[in-house]
């Protein structure tokens, strides 16, 4: 069975600081990787996804993530955070199964101080 670990449960940053959120997964086969964001009171929204090709993927709102196969990692980064990035961030994987069901990490709650 696949699993996803997000090691940072809570992160507090000041505006303009750089962000890196860790995500590690356990699954030996081909995976599709995702980062979702949930702003306060809103639904989960897709930030970015990786299926194949360039391991550095760019998403919306200046976010990017790097897939490192040897480390089973898919860390999320942003060079300079804004107060509006305050949200909960979830890493998710699917194994390319027919149903594309997602396995999520436990989430990282980010607070950006103005």
Partner 1 sequence: DTGVSQDPRHKITKRGQNVTFRCDPISEHNRLYWYRQTLGQGPEFLTYFQNEAQLEKSRLLSDRFSAERPKGSFSTLEIQRTEQGDSAMYLCASSRDTEAFFGQGTRLTVV
The footprint of partner 1 (CB under 8 A) covers: 4, 6, 9, 32, 36, 42-46, 49, 51, 90, 92, 94, 98-107
Place of tokens 């970015």: 48
Task: Work out how close the CB of 73 gets to partner 1 at its nearest, in angstroms, rounded to a whole number.
Answer: 17
Considering the complex, state which of residue 38 and residue 86 has its C-beta at the smaller distance from partner 1: 38
Task: Work out how close the CB of 75 gets to partner 1 at its nearest, in angstroms, rounded to a whole number.
Answer: 16
Considering the complex, state which of residue 53 and residue 99 has its C-beta at the smaller distance from partner 1: 99
Considering the complex, state which of residue 13 and residue 44 has its C-beta at the smaller distance from partner 1: 44
Alpha helices by DSSP H, listed for 2-104, are none
Nearest to 72 by CA among 90, 91, 57: 91
User: Beta-carbon neighbour count of residue 50 at 10 Å?
Assistant: 20
Nearest to 48 by CA among 33, 68, 31: 33
Task: Work out how close the CB of 79 gets to partner 1 at its nearest, in angstroms, rounded to a whole number.
Answer: 25
What is the Cα–Cα distance from 83 to 8, expressed in whole angstroms? 19
């Amino acid at each position: 069975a696949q699993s996803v670990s997000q090691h940072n449960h809570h992160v507090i940053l000041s505006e303009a600081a750089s962000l890196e959120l860790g995500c590690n997964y356990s699954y030996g086969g081909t995976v599709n990787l995702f980062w979702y964001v949930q702003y306060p009171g809103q639904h989960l929204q897709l930030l970015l996804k990786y299926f194949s090709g360039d391991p550095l993927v760019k998403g919306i709102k200046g976010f990017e993530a790097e897939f490192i196969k040897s480390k089973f990692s898919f860390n999320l980064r942003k060079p300079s955070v804004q107060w509006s990035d305050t949200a909960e961030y979830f890493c998710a994987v699917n194994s390319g199964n027919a149903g594309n069901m997602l396995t999520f990490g436990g989430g990282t709650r980010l607070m950006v101080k103005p």
